[in-house]
């Protein structure tokens, strides 16, 4: 079994006013760079940020949670975080409309990050749609640890694959799967996983994307020695563990099922402990 070190949850979370450095359209998505100063050093792959959306007079009183794609530090802007946002709902559309210089009310960093292997091992990153964005920053951390990093990106169609060229630069190998065959190979992103586990001697799979994809990966890895760490996509209302709207059925230390909060006990979870067949059902 591979040793995994997991970060302490919300220890460094801080509410700050953060300025938008840039907002660029990338395909169907928006890439936002936000100045968060010294807090960038506390952000780890898998963490998320809760943002107050809509402005002071908005009726959207709940914050919106967004996965942090990556953080960086430079002499011009100091510490920044990158978000990849799909303008779907009212909150995300408002955020995507914020231009350079706009000031956001954010709480960061939140949630449990990905555990990083304590020694170099073979890892596989699996991303679905724009949910794959946090995997690029994770790839950089894993590369620095000496791991071989391979990546699978999948979506229903080519326009929903986020930054394939960036993914290719970050890993040893990249394969793309689209269900309508408009990019890469035809099929679901989970289809090649059993073969890759055997051929590459994969020790850890890191995944981000739709819940159905995460469940399918768990079905593949459950009877193996492969560790599956997944960032769950469960809707969060508060993002700090108060409202209990983002709970999932997860096995606890005794083997009993407990309703754990995605925002506090996750978003990164051990896929083998989640009861995927019971997600969304009353227990």
pLDDT in tens, 73-85: 887 778 999 999 9
Question: Can you list the positions of beta strands (E) in the chain?
Answer: 4-5, 14-26, 29-35, 48-52, 64-74, 78-85, 103-110, 116-117, 122-128, 148-155, 173-178, 185-186, 204-208, 227-231, 247-251, 257-261, 268-270
The SS3 assignment for 137 reads helix
Mean pLDDT value of segment 148-154: 96
DSSP H/E element including 210: none
Domain 116-278 has CATH 3.40.50.80: yes
The SS3 assignment for 238 reads coil
Domain ranges of the chain: 8-110, 116-278
pLDDT for residue 1 is more than 70: no
Q: Where residue 18 falls among pLDDT bands split at 50, 70, 90? A: very high
Question: Alpha helix (H) ranges present in the chain?
Answer: 90-96, 133-144, 164-170, 193-200, 211-221
Q: Where residue 5 falls among pLDDT bands split at 50, 70, 90? A: very low
The SS3 assignment for 257 reads strand
Instruction: Select the more confidently predicted residue: 208 or 242.
Output: 208
Instruction: Give the whole-number percent of the chain exceeding pLDDT 70.
Output: 96
Mean pLDDT value of segment 142-168: 91
Written as six digits, the tokens of 118 are 């304590």
8-110: which CATH topology?
Elongation Factor Tu (Ef-tu); domain 3 (2.40.30)
Mean pLDDT value of segment 158-173: 85
Q: Where residue 195 falls among pLDDT bands split at 50, 70, 90? A: very high
Mean pLDDT value of segment 61-71: 91
Which residues are registered as beta bridge partners of 25? 30
Per-residue pLDDT at 58: 82
Q: Read off the pLDDT of residues 88-120 as tens digits, 9 standing for 90 and up.
A: 889 999 999 999 999 999 999 999 999 999 999
Q: Is this structure's pTM higher than 0.85?
A: yes
User: What are the C-alpha distances in Å from 251 to residues 58, 81, 104?
Assistant: 39, 33, 37
Mean pLDDT value of segment 133-159: 94
Say how far apart CA 80 and CA 13 lie, in whole Å: 15
């Amino acid at each position: 079994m591979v040793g995994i070190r997991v970060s302490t949850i919300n220890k460094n979370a801080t509410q700050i006013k953060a300025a938008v450095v840039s907002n660029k359209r990338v395909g169907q998505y928006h890439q936002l760079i936000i100045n968060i100063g010294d807090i960038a050093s506390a952000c780890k792959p898998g963490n998320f940020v809760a943002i107050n959306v809509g402005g002071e007079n908005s009726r959207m009183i709940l914050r919106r949670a967004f996965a942090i794609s990556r953080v960086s530090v430079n002499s011009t802007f100091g510490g920044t975080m990158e978000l990849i946002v799909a303008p779907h709902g009212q909150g995300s559309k408002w955020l995507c409309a914020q231009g350079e210089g706009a000031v956001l009310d954010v709480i960061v960093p939140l949630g449990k990050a990905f555990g990083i292997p304590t020694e170099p091992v073979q890892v596989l990153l699996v991303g679905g749609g724009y949910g794959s964005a946090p995997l690029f920053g994770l790839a950089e951390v894993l590369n620095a640890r000496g791991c071989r990093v391979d990546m699978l990106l999948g979506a229903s169609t080519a326009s929903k694959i986020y930054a394939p060229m960036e993914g290719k630069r970050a890993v040893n190998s990249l394969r793309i799967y689209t269900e309508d065959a408009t990019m890469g190979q035809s099929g679901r992103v989970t289809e090649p996983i059993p073969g890759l586990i055997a051929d590459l001697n994969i020790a850890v799979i890191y995944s981000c994307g739709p819940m159905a994809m995460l469940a399918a990966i768990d079905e593949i890895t459950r009877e193996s020695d492969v560790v599956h760490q997944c960032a769950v996509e469960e809707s969060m209302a508060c993002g700090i563990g108060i409202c209990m709207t983002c709970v999932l059925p997860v096995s606890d230390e005794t083997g009993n099922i407990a309703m754990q909060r995605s925002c506090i006990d996750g978003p990164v979870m051990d896929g083998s402990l989640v009861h995927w067949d019971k997600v969304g059902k009353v227990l």
